[in-house]
Amino acid sequence: MHNIRTNANRGISIIPGYIVLLFVGLLLIIDFIPSNSGVLIANTQFLYLSVLNILIGVYFYMNSKMLSDTIFPFLKRSYITISFLLFLSICGLSFLVAKNESLVITRFTELLIVFCLFINLSVLLKDKLNLIYKIILIIAVSAFFQSGLALYKFSQLSGYISVAEAVNNMRGNAENINILAASLTIKIPFLFIGITHFKSVKKNFLLFTLFFVTTAIFLTAARTSLLNLIVITIGYIFYFLKINSFEKSSFRKSFILIIPIIISLFVSNRSFEKSKDNNRYISVTNRISQINTTDASAKARLAYWENTIKISQANPLLGIGLGNYRIESIPYEKYSENDFSVSLDSHNDFLEIFAETGVINGILYFSLFIYIFFINIKWLLKSNDDNTKRIAILCLMLLIVYGGDAFFNFPMYRPTMQIFFSLLLALTLVNSPGLISQERSEPVKIKFIAILIGIAIMTSYSAFIIYKASDLEAEILKDDINNNLKGILSGDEVVSRIPKYPNVFRTSESFYEYAAIYYIREKKYDKALTCFARASKINPYSGRINFYKYIISKEKNNLDSASVYIKEAFYLRPRNLFYYKYSTNLAAVRKDTIEILKESELFSKYRKITEAWSVPAAELQKTNFNKKSLIRFVDQGLKQIPNDSTLIKLKNDIVIKDYILEGQILLSQSKFDKSLESFEKALKINPNDIYLLQSIGLNYYYSEKYKEAIPYFLNALKYPGLNNGITEFYVATCYLKNNDLENACEYFNLSKAKSFRAAEQQLNKACK
């Protein structure tokens, strides 16, 4: 009889507490999953989360009588569930407008995994909020080891490499240090609540963990995390003081929260003092002070946001397709991003959703955050239950950290952040004092669970496909086929393993594009062109496909086609220095000075760098471009970059060569005085040019002023480059003409040593 519920407890969940704690603990393992061979650890983590969803779903199915009868009806009516489902539905509809359906499926899989996780956590936490302090301890243990391992790696490396390099290597299995910082920051709200609740050993452990966590965050110098840390620290201290009526004892207790943060700030700044970095790793306060719209990183984000808004305005109904930003944003960035750089994400989840799935869905997604904010404010201000208030303030801090990260970064597809987003949604939902329903239907509950299990199985299969794609990407990158002539894989192997989805690398290049490059290395040009044709339908915007077609055309000695392809590559990405060099070079081969000048004008409009003028100037010289026009061209660069040493040297070299050529022509006409005038003009610009010194020596030599010629020849020989022995021969002849036989013989011998034939004859004749 004890297994049968009474009418009084039918709405109460009787899932054992250890199941809840075990599931939370298993979720946090994702921060310690090894990166293995997959390029993106996120793909492994999403696969892991989807399998956990299956396991907990099966547990629910087999123990359905333990579940609360009220949770599923409440889930059906909750604004959180309804808005999340509507959001997912519109994301799915964006498949209809997407140019790359593969990316829609990939991202939709990840969002479904998060939705299932939210439902499962809601079911588990129903009537289990009394476990919150045990959950806090589990999260604290996770944060302790995550930050501790990061700091240990930093301490091991900082003695051998720069602080900046050591910091970049402390990220653990996070893709970068910004993700590590965000992952740690979102755990801090739990530490705050635990510190002000526990006493003695547990409290000390949480304080020590807070020190570890904040030290790691400060070392990363991730500005979004630093801002979030400041806001939640001030916010929680104010909350704690207010609920304790601003008593002196509460001031002392709240000050305890600040102590580990202050110590970690001191430790971090001491580490930065050893850094030679003049930008990011000077000090924590310096890093925070860099938060302004003039900072390079801020400018980049503003440019991404502006482009994202443009995409949204052009596609207001259903957007460009979920996940398609990483490709469809590239044309918008052709005048803002250098070389092969692309944004991949808009660095604002809200704007990206607007662009990818339409304005209505963007508003719907943002409204979810607004709802969570106001509902938790409501419980915080109006509830009479201390635990309800505590959960509400926890949710508000989680919202600040996640929302701040979503505004400046892209946590939507980072599993380590999505766990806490799901937890935020679940806690907000089950913390409602009005979680009561009269609907109690076991068949409905079983059906609901069965649907969840079915979705979890489908997402696991899909996540496995995505994981395999990531694995293939890692193998291709290991081959470095862009630079190597051969890899472990072959073109045929890559084609046979190309996944259903995603069909692009995380850097947006198509798998078919890389298969084509393998075929180029294998001289299988027809197969390469077939793959490029398929790749062009996936991502035609980077210019790489056009560049490799240029390579194929050059191999086939078809310069007309090569010229077309390399120009296409350059005009697709007119800030790409690599394409710029190749395009101007081929234009020079074809004596197309107009094209060189045209490309130079476009490139220099967006990139005021030395190469904007030095590269085309070098190519123009090959076309016998008018010297005065060439000098005027270089002067244009010097107006943009005054005192640039490379451009000054380039201009001087052009002028000197012009004077030398003029002087040599006059010398050949025996106009020695005028020839010398030209050489001396060049000498004022560069007194150390060996060919100029040699030319002046020849001027005196042919005008039979042998004594005057000797110093110029000898000065020229001080510098490397004159290796044929002729200069030594002229020196010897000058000495001989001045009856200095000893020096003459010495230099005839030096000339002979460099295999100058005439020197041996003179040795036999004059130096017996």
- Could you give the percent of the chain with pLDDT greater than 70? 94
- Using the predicted structure, report yes or no on whether residue 664 has a pLDDT greater than 80: yes
Are 394 and 519 in the same domain? no
Are 452 and 512 in the same domain? no
Arithmetic mean of pLDDT, 530-554 = 96
Are 433 and 502 in the same domain? no
Tell whether omega for the bond before 687 is within 30 degrees of 0, i.e. cis. Answer: no
CA 515, CA 181: separation in Å to the nearest integer? 36
Please report whether residue 405 resides in a domain: yes
Q: Diameter of the chain by CA atoms?
A: 130
Please report whether residue 57 resides in a domain: yes
CA 393, CA 377: separation in Å to the nearest integer? 8
Arithmetic mean of pLDDT, 758-762 = 83
Decide: 469 and 59 in contact? Cβ < 8 Å. Answer: no
Q: Burial level of 252, CB count in 10 A (0-12/13-18/19+)?
A: exposed
The C-alpha angle with vertex 560 and arms to 559 and 565, in degrees rounded to 5, equals 90
Output the pLDDT for position 508. Answer: 93
Are 265 and 394 in the same domain? yes
Instruction: Locate 695 and state its tokens.
Output: 């030319």
Are 358 and 219 in the same domain? yes
* Residues 504-519: tens digit of each pLDDT: 999 999 999 999 999 9
Cα 669 to chain center, whole Å? 62
- Using the predicted structure, report yes or no on whether residue 689 has a pLDDT greater than 70: yes
CA 759, CA 373: separation in Å to the nearest integer? 93
* Residues 126-164: tens digit of each pLDDT: 989 999 999 999 999 999 999 999 999 988 887 777 777
Helix (H, G, I), strand (E, B) or coil at 738: coil
CA gyration radius, the chain: 36
Output the pLDDT for position 4. Answer: 40
Boundary of a domain, candidates 514, 542, 570: 542
Which of 197-206, 358-367, 428-437 is predicted least confidently?
A: 428-437
Are 29 and 145 in the same domain? yes
Confidence grade of residue 288 (pLDDT, cut at 50, 70, 90)? low
* Residues 58-107: tens digit of each pLDDT: 999 999 888 887 888 888 889 999 999 999 999 999 999 999 999 999 99
Boundary of a domain, candidates 525, 542, 559: 542
Listing DSSP states for 553-617 in one string gives HHHTT-HHHHHHHHHHHHHHSTT-HHHHHHHHHHHHHTT-HHHHHHHHHHHHHH--STHHHHHHH
Please report whether residue 655 resides in a domain: no
Output the pLDDT for position 216. Answer: 92
User: Domain residues for 527?
Assistant: 487-542
Confidence grade of residue 5 (pLDDT, cut at 50, 70, 90)? very low
Which of 72-86, 272-286, 392-406, 613-627 is predicted least confidently?
A: 272-286
* Residues 612-658: tens digit of each pLDDT: 999 999 999 999 888 889 999 999 999 999 989 999 989 888 888 88
What's the pTM?
Answer: 0.86
CA 118, CA 456: separation in Å to the nearest integer? 12
- Using the predicted structure, report yes or no on whether residue 590 has a pLDDT greater than 90: yes
- Count of structural domains, the chain: 2
Are 508 and 400 in the same domain? no
Are 269 and 356 in the same domain? yes
- Using the predicted structure, report yes or no on whether residue 1 has a pLDDT greater than 50: no
Please report whether residue 639 resides in a domain: no
Decide: 570 and 599 in contact? Cβ < 8 Å. Answer: yes
The count of other CB atoms within 10 Å of the CB of residue 207 is 19
Output the pLDDT for position 9. Answer: 45
Q: At what angle do helices 132-157 and 17-28 cross, to 10 degrees?
A: 20
Confidence grade of residue 736 (pLDDT, cut at 50, 70, 90)? confident
Cα 216 to chain center, whole Å? 21
Decide: 376 and 395 in contact? Cβ < 8 Å. Answer: yes
Decide: 451 and 108 in contact? Cβ < 8 Å. Answer: no
Arithmetic mean of pLDDT, 433-448 = 64
| Paired residues of 510 in beta bridges | 504
Are 114 and 250 in the same domain? yes
